């Protein structure tokens, strides 16, 4: 597809709810696809959270295993808690603190990348949406300052262990 378009594309890490017969873990699959296709990643931070609850893994460990140099941009969104062990990616609710924390860790690990707030329905007043956009901006500003204090380094290295 990239050859036909003459442009790089980014593939999104998706939310999923069952994986019968899976031969690869989610992180192995994502990394294999990105490597084989030689494409970028659209990092959906909410999907990392949703899948970590549904499939019982550590979302921070998952983030650390992603190829940060391939992140083109990101998404952040809300979701629906159906049960203690079932979260559905809906884009119909406010972003929760755990997802904000994951976005913060993603910027810490990979540096700042363009990030879109997704909200498809149950739209609150515009000011509430703008508050979430301002929260994205505040996290980006925080990590841009860290990078600048670090001498403006942009070598793809992580800012923490």
In the chain, DSSP finds a helix count (H) and a strand count (E) of 6, 6
Average pLDDT, the chain: 93
What average pLDDT does the segment 92-104 reach? 97
Answer yes or no: is pLDDT of 13 > 80.
yes
Helices (H), 16-119: 26-37, 45-54, 59-64, 97-110
Average pLDDT rounded to a whole number, residues 103-120? 97
pLDDT band at 151 (very low <50, low <70, confident <90, very high): confident
* DSSP assignment of 99-111: HHHHHHHHHHHH-
CA atoms within a 13 Å half-sphere pointing along the CA-CB vector of 63: 26
Average pLDDT over residues 101-113: 98
Place of tokens 């707030």: 117
Q: 70: which DSSP letter?
A: G
- Burial of residue 36, with CB atoms counted within 10 A of its CB: 0-12 exposed, 13-18 middle, 19 or more buried: exposed
Rounded to an integer, the average pLDDT of 7-11 is: 96
Q: Give the single-character DSSP code of 152.
A: S
The whole-number pLDDT of residue 112 equals 98
Can you tell me the distance from the alpha carbon of 102 to that of 110, in angstroms, rounded to the nearest whole number?
Answer: 12
pLDDT at 150: 84
| Interval 83-96 mean pLDDT | 93
CA 16 – CA 104 distance, rounded (Å): 23
> What global pTM score does this model have?
0.91
């Amino acid at each position: 597809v990239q050859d036909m378009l003459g442009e790089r594309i980014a593939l999104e890490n998706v939310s999923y709810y069952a994986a019968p017969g899976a031969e690869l873990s989610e992180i192995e699959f994502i990394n294999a696809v990105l490597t084989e296709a030689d494409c970028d990643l659209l990092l959906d931070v909410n999907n990392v959270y949703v899948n970590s609850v549904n499939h019982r893994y550590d979302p921070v460990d998952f983030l650390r295993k992603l190829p940060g140099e391939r992140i083109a941009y990101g998404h952040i969104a809300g979701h629906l808690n159906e049960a203690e062990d079932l979260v559905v990616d809906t884009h119909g609710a406010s972003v929760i603190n755990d997802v904000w924390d994951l976005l913060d860790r993603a910027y810490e690990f990979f540096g700042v990348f363009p990030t879109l707030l997704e909200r498809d329905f149950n739209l609150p007043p515009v000011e509430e949406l703008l508050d979430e956009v301002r929260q994205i901006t505040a996290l980006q500003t925080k990590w841009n300052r860290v990078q600048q204090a670090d001498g403006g380094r942009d070598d793809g290295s992580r800012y923490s262990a």
